[in-house]
Amino acid sequence: MRVVIIGGVAAGPKAASKIIRLRPDAQVTIVEKGIFLSYAGCGLPYYISGDVRERNHLMETPAGVVRDAVFFQKTKNLKVLNGTEALQIDRAGKRVRVKTLASGEESWLPYDNLVLATGAAPVIPPLPGVDRKNVFTLHGVHDAEGIKAMLAEPRAEDVVIVGGGLIGVETTEALVTRGCRVTVVEMLPQILNLLDWEIARLVELHMESKGVRVMTGTKALAIESRAGAGGAVTHVRTDKGELPASMVILAIGVRPNVALARDAGLAIGATTGAIKVDDRMRTSDPAIYAAGDCVESCDRVTGRPCFVPLGSTANKQGRTVAVNLCGGDEAFPGVLGTAVCKVFDFCVARTGLTERVARSLGMDVVTAMAPGPDKAHYMPQARPLLMKIVVDAKTGRLLGAQATGPGDGSKRIDAAATAITAGLTVQDVANLDLAYAPPYAPAMDNLITAANVARNKCAGLMVGVSAQDVKARLDRNEDFVFLDVRSPKEYAEVRLPRSVHIPLGALRGRLAELPRDKEIVAFCQVSLRGYEAALVLKAAGFKDVKVLDGGIAMWPYELERE
């Protein structure tokens, strides 16, 4: 069996290695345009920062062996043609035309099965000046080397990152670590559009606390160079003014590489622009499979096609390709868009649907905010974790989860991804038998607490109101009571605007101070005491009582301080 695989970074090598394990007699050839093989692209920001000291570490096996052409030949019995570009697929003749880039020599490779793992390419915006010196993307080892070289020179002081997605945000920390002044320019109203606004805003505030300037709702217009700069970038012009820049990083996102597939007449997804595949990773040609960042996936919640390029997905899809290509029958069921990244001291993670996406699809949802320590609160290593979950209002099924903060969000999001995959409701999630020990988790895990908040809302025991709604009403000077039930010490240190302070312990004795004909929104640090205050008020006959979702801990605006 002759197999040609186009692409040698993630899905391609994974498929090749599994094919050889299943069919040791197979003749497998990997064609890779670049020089570097099977490297950890997600590790590039940490190579720039210096956390990963050697470039080869990104291309090594866990045993420390570099995955180069010799490694694949001797260890895997795979033929690798790196520095070789695939030019054309002849489906009728079952062959691929390739060109060796060093010599320009062209040849044909015959195949019985072809695997497309052509990945994705960075989006280059149509801005004047994108071809100037010191303008980079961060999509490969060469890009990382260019950025590192710039950081070694004193002129790389002001860096503008165009784009506030995962790549842009992760790169920010690396640059600040190296002493740069960094500005992130994002055209959308928020960074990290894979999150809901309030969660993204908390990340943005954390970045700003580290000295990063974040400009959302801002459009880059041109990358420019002043006279005498030799064509190197000196500033970025935006619709909100000029920004000094000795280096610019374009981090707008990626598009699937589908030119080969399209030219060969393979079906392309109308929604995503990526290669259309079935759940066995077959293209519209049964002899051709595809996997990784070049293909469209299926959203496991909605059943709709989606494009979510992630290294974890690429590796799983590569394995599925190999199993089916070798005669097995394995389905790839789709994705939840589960992702995690590190932003300075914050873990930022998500899975499933955001509230924004769910509502745009016409879903009736309930959301729950659950800030709290990621370990028993009395443990010295406990750190705050801020969670949001999205729940189907009718069925109680968990649809999505997001987490941020210095606490451990990854394990909660992984548990949520498992629960969404299994179709669990918040009733199920609230009763999950999760591990507990004070150094690792609170007795009621953060995810369980979030599920219980959602259960209370679904049962009508709690009426929540979002920070955005409260802020808008404060700005309009609407007449309602914003009731802070924290302790006097907490209130003296920090507070929300226009709040009325009555500690929870004193509330029953001071009910006469509160008007019964006005809406009351109660809150505390995390709104647990706010919820208890709302129950006290309802029991006393107050009719219109709500709770601020997430409390002060998840208030995404400026706070009043002493």
> How would DSSP label each residue in 40-84?
-GGGHHHHHHTSS--GGGGGB-TTS-B-SHHHHHHHH--EEEETE
E strand or H helix at 489: helix 488-493
- Please choose, from the candidates 406, 398, 402, the residue with its C-alpha nearest in 3D space to the C-alpha of residue 425: 398
Share of the chain above pLDDT 70, in %: 99
pLDDT of residue 511: 97
- Please choose, from the candidates 44, 80, 114, the residue with its C-alpha nearest in 3D space to the C-alpha of residue 288: 114
Give how far Cα 247 sits from Cα of 132, 148, 499, Å.
Answer: 10, 11, 45
DSSP 119-148: -EEE-----TTTTSBTEE--SSHHHHHHHH
Domain coordinates in residue numbering, the chain: 2-119+255-325, 135-252, 345-458, 464-561
Q: Which residues contact 403 (CB under 8 A, 6 or more apart)?
A: 347, 348, 349, 350, 385, 386, 387, 388, 409, 412, 413, 446
The CB-side HSE value for 400 (13 A sphere, CA atoms) comes to 29
**Which segments of 186-260 are extended strands (E)?**
213-215, 220-224, 235-238, 241-244, 247-250, 254-256
Q: Torsion angle of alpha carbons 402, 405, 407, 409, nearest 10°?
A: 20
Better-scored residue on pLDDT, 43 or 120:
120
DSSP conformation class of 524: -
Does the pLDDT at position 186 exceed 60? yes
Edge-to-edge strand ranges of the sheet holding 398-405: 339-343, 346-352, 398-405, 384-392, 365-373
Average pLDDT over residues 204-215: 96
Does the pLDDT at position 436 exceed 60? yes
Give how far Cα 220 sits from Cα of 130, 133, 169, 243, 426, Å.
Answer: 11, 17, 17, 10, 43
pLDDT of residue 366: 98
507 pLDDT tier (thresholds 50, 70, 90): very high
The mean predicted confidence, pLDDT, of the chain is: 94
Token pair, residue 47, equals 């190579």
The answer to whether residues 201 and 188 touch, using CB atoms and an 8 Å cutoff, is no
Q: Which of 42, 294, 326, 347 is catalytic?
A: 42
67 pLDDT tier (thresholds 50, 70, 90): confident
Q: Could you give the angle at the alpha carbon of 147 between the alpha carbons of 345 and 84, nearest 5°?
A: 115
Q: Is 439 exposed, middle or buried (0-12, 13-18, 19+ CB in 10 A)?
A: exposed
Each residue's pLDDT tens digit, 224-275: 999 888 888 999 999 999 999 999 999 999 999 999 999 999 999 998 999 9
SS3 category, 518 = coil
Average pLDDT over residues 284-301: 97
- For residue 521, the cross-strand partners are 482, 546
Amino acid at 85: E
Token pair, residue 430, equals 């609230």
The answer to whether residues 30 and 5 touch, using CB atoms and an 8 Å cutoff, is yes
Each residue's pLDDT tens digit, 520-535: 999 999 999 999 999 9
Q: Is the dihedral of CA 271, 274, 275, 279 positive or negative?
A: negative
pLDDT of residue 156: 65
The answer to whether residues 236 and 223 touch, using CB atoms and an 8 Å cutoff, is yes
Each residue's pLDDT tens digit, 91-134: 999 999 999 999 999 999 999 999 999 999 999 999 999 999 99
- For residue 52, the cross-strand partners are none
pLDDT of residue 189: 96
Report the alpha-carbon distance of residue 166 to residue 262 in Å, rounded: 28
CATH architecture designation of domain 464-561: 3-Layer(aba) Sandwich (3.40)
41 pLDDT tier (thresholds 50, 70, 90): confident
Helices (H) and strands (E) in the chain, counts: 16, 32
The answer to whether residues 15 and 318 touch, using CB atoms and an 8 Å cutoff, is yes
Query: Among 25-34, 146-155, 492-501, where is mean pLDDT lowest?
Result: 146-155
pLDDT of residue 153: 67
pTM: 0.93
Each residue's pLDDT tens digit, 133-163: 999 998 888 888 888 888 886 656 899 999 9
**Known catalytic membership, residue 347:** no
pLDDT of residue 154: 61
Q: How many CB atoms lie within 10 A of CB 143?
A: 18
The CB-side HSE value for 263 (13 A sphere, CA atoms) comes to 11
Q: Are strands 2-6 and 113-116 parallel, antiparallel or unpaired?
A: parallel
Average pLDDT over residues 506-530: 96
Report the alpha-carbon distance of residue 525 to residue 495 in Å, rounded: 10
Report the alpha-carbon distance of residue 128 to residue 360 in Å, rounded: 34
Ramachandran sector of residue 386 (left: φ over 0; alpha: ψ -120 to 50; beta: rest) = beta
Report the alpha-carbon distance of residue 340 to residue 344 in Å, rounded: 13
Q: Are strands 494-495 and 560-561 parallel, antiparallel or unpaired?
A: antiparallel
pLDDT of residue 230: 85
DSSP 92-118: TTTEEEEEETTT--EEEEE-SEEEE--
DSSP 306-348: E----HHHHHHHHHHHHHHHTT-------B---EEEEETTEEE
Each residue's pLDDT tens digit, 333-383: 999 999 999 999 999 999 999 999 999 999 999 999 999 999 999 999 999
Each residue's pLDDT tens digit, 452-481: 999 999 999 999 999 999 999 999 999 999
Give how far Cα 180 sits from Cα of 138, 140, 168, 221, 516, Å.
Answer: 17, 21, 14, 22, 55
pLDDT of residue 155: 55
Report the alpha-carbon distance of residue 373 to residue 441 in Å, rounded: 8
Domains 2-119+255-325 and 135-252 share a fold: yes
CATH T-level assignment (fold) for domain 135-252 = FAD/NAD(P)-binding domain (3.50.50)
E strand or H helix at 465: strand 464-465
CATH architecture designation of domain 2-119+255-325: 3-Layer(bba) Sandwich (3.50)
Each residue's pLDDT tens digit, 330-345: 999 999 999 999 999 9
CATH code of 345-458, in short, is 3.30.390.30
Average pLDDT over residues 430-441: 98
